[in-house]
Amino acid sequence: MATLPSTVDPSLATSRKTDVRVLEANFGDGYSQRAGDGINTIMDTWEVSWSCLDATNYNELNTFFEDNQGYISFEWTPVGETVEKKFVCRQWNTNHIGNSKYVLSATFNQVWDL
């Protein structure tokens, strides 16, 4: 199991979006019945960014995401939490801000691999 490189900590300006998978059956007169869809119904998506990365740290992170190809999970401890969780990264964005400095933003989707 790969672990996200920790050479440089992400910016504190990370954000989390939580989705809950729910099955719902609607009946007449506004009545409905709901149940969780599966065992792990709560899924987090994190927007994570690193600012002012030098070329070495940028290349390390970018290569990590490329090597995991959007489907290989990795472990990461979200900001403010103490337990590692499993994520995949299917999308990341790079901004070159001059003088060999980069800003890298990535979207981490929580997964429940074995």
Mean pLDDT of 73-101: 92
Comparing 1 with 51, the larger pLDDT belongs to 51
On the question of pLDDT at 6 being above 90, the answer is no
Domain count along the chain: 1
Domain of 8 in residue numbering reads as 2-110
Mean pLDDT of 107-113: 93
Where residue 28 falls among pLDDT bands split at 50, 70, 90? confident
CATH of the domain at 34: 2.40.30
Mean pLDDT of 70-95: 93
Average pLDDT over the chain, rounded to whole?
A: 91
Distance of CA 64 to the CA centre of its chain: 14
As a whole-number percent, the residues of the chain with pLDDT over 90 amount to 73
The pTM of this model reads: 0.86
